Amino acid sequence: MDAKILIESFAEFARSKNVDRPTMIRILEDVFRAMIRKKFETDENFDVTINADKGDLEIFRIREIVDDNSEDIWDFDKISFTEARKIEPDFEIGEEVYEKIELEEFGRRAVQMARQTLIQRIKDLEKDILYNKYEEQVGEIISAEVYQILGREILMIDGEGNELILPKGEQISKDRFRKGDTVKAIVHRVDMINGNPKIILSRTSPVFLERLFENEVPEVYDGLITIVKIVREPGERAKVAVESYDDRIDPVGACVGMKGSRIHAVVRELQNENIDVINFTENLDLYVTRALSPAKVSSITVDQDRKRISVFLKPDQVSLAIGKGGFNIKLASRLVGYEIDVFRELNEYDDEDVDLNEFVDEIDAWIIEELKKTGLDTAKSVLALTKEDLTRRTELEEETVDEIFRILRQEFEQ
């Protein structure tokens, strides 16, 4: 393979990978200089000129002519007067010899290896370009096509045929995709594993929800409305705290849109995730009240040292505060940054009910504490639930729940 064929084939391959001309020339020169170093031990006194468009390659070895008896005669950049005269009879001591080196002099094996090296360098460069491209897009929404569904992840491809990964843990539990579907997600992170870029997408990240709001709500995109914080239980419920520095703008109303038009588009994309948009405020009591919406809070006690808040509600508001699966209170706690304990206001006319603290001799204190966290602070409030409801709310063992019911029922039987 001569230089022209080698360079032209490489240039064609590089152009197909969208490699710019300066980078292409740099790679060619690096590879040829590596060949020179392997054959001559150094490339310091070599001049390499490449014209990728024409497939031209010129390699010159440059050496200074010295006397045959000179001590420097063995230096890599020196040539004896006798050797120089064999190249050109008119040379004199002190002149420089430019000796052209043909590619064939490196040997067939070296040329074949150079060709493989060139292709590998382009592939490595392509990986670097891909990594840098998606590293700059971390946190941004992209659309990609599903082409293979595996047990632990979905493999997707972008418009350029690059492979992207949507792991099971980054999918909404209600997501159901088929091959060929176009899916929206954010670029979650980009890892380089064994020299190969691995692009991880996410649909569960709070950032994904934030970007969806930016797409649907111009005021958010323009910065007129700020999203202070987002907390999510992907596919189930989310709470979004927003604020605006312009008093003329209602941040909640703008995010929801006329008849819910804006937020409905976001909800559909998130598989009908229930989204609560609330006004952010520095007033902690008011912030907690809004965070527990739709429940109506009667009173609040804040323990700053323990970062805990006790919330008292009327009996019919407790289940609203806790929410289905306990998601409402969990998200409210994460949103305000405090652990929230829900307590049911005792009805002063209900003399028959008994505070759970009265059972501390029969029920472990930590179990009573777990019940109180979910707003169950009296015997009747616990007995009003089924065994399944109580197990799901508290995550207590079924045997423990059975024992609780036995003790509380025994109290009223007496």
**Predicted local confidence at residue 350, as pLDDT:** 52
CA 295 to chain centre: 34
At residue 80, the 3 state secondary structure works out as strand
d(CA 184, CA 267): 13
For the range 174-179, what are the long-range contacts, defined as Cβ-Cβ under 8 Å and sequence gap of 24 or more? 174/235, 174/271, 174/272, 175/203, 175/235, 175/271, 177/146, 177/149, 178/146, 178/149, 179/146, 179/147, 179/148, 179/149
pLDDT tens-place values along the chain, 414 residues long: 567 777 777 777 777 777 778 888 888 888 889 888 988 889 999 998 888 777 778 889 899 988 888 888 888 888 898 888 888 888 888 888 898 888 888 888 888 888 888 888 888 888 888 899 999 999 999 999 999 999 899 999 998 889 999 999 999 999 999 999 999 999 999 999 888 899 999 999 999 999 999 999 999 999 999 999 999 999 999 999 999 988 889 999 999 989 888 999 999 999 999 999 999 999 999 999 999 988 888 889 898 888 999 888 887 788 888 888 889 999 999 999 999 988 877 654 455 778 888 888 888 888 888 888 777 878 888 887 888 878 877 778 888 889 998 888 887 776
Determine the straight-line distance between the first and last CA of the chain, rounded to whole angstroms: 101
**Predicted local confidence at residue 349, as pLDDT:** 42
**Predicted local confidence at residue 347, as pLDDT:** 56
For the range 229-232, what are the long-range contacts, defined as Cβ-Cβ under 8 Å and sequence gap of 24 or more? 229/280, 229/335, 230/206, 231/206, 231/331, 231/334, 231/335, 232/204, 232/206, 232/273, 232/331
Could you tell me if 266 and 209 are in contact, meaning their C-beta atoms sit under 8 angstroms apart?
yes
Question: Got the DSSP string for 120-146?
Answer: HHHHHHHHHHHHHHHHTTBT-EEEEEE
Could you tell me if 396 and 364 are in contact, meaning their C-beta atoms sit under 8 angstroms apart?
no
CA 230 to chain centre: 16
Angle at 141 between CA 140 and CA 147, to 5 degrees: 130
**Predicted local confidence at residue 143, as pLDDT:** 94
**Predicted local confidence at residue 250, as pLDDT:** 92
Q: What is the dihedral of CA 386, 392, 394, 395, to 10 degrees?
A: 130
Angle at 346 between CA 345 and CA 349, to 5 degrees: 135
Query: What domains appear along the chain, each with residue ranges and CATH number?
Result: 3-132 (3.30.1480), 137-203 (2.40.50.140), 205-280 (3.30.300.20)
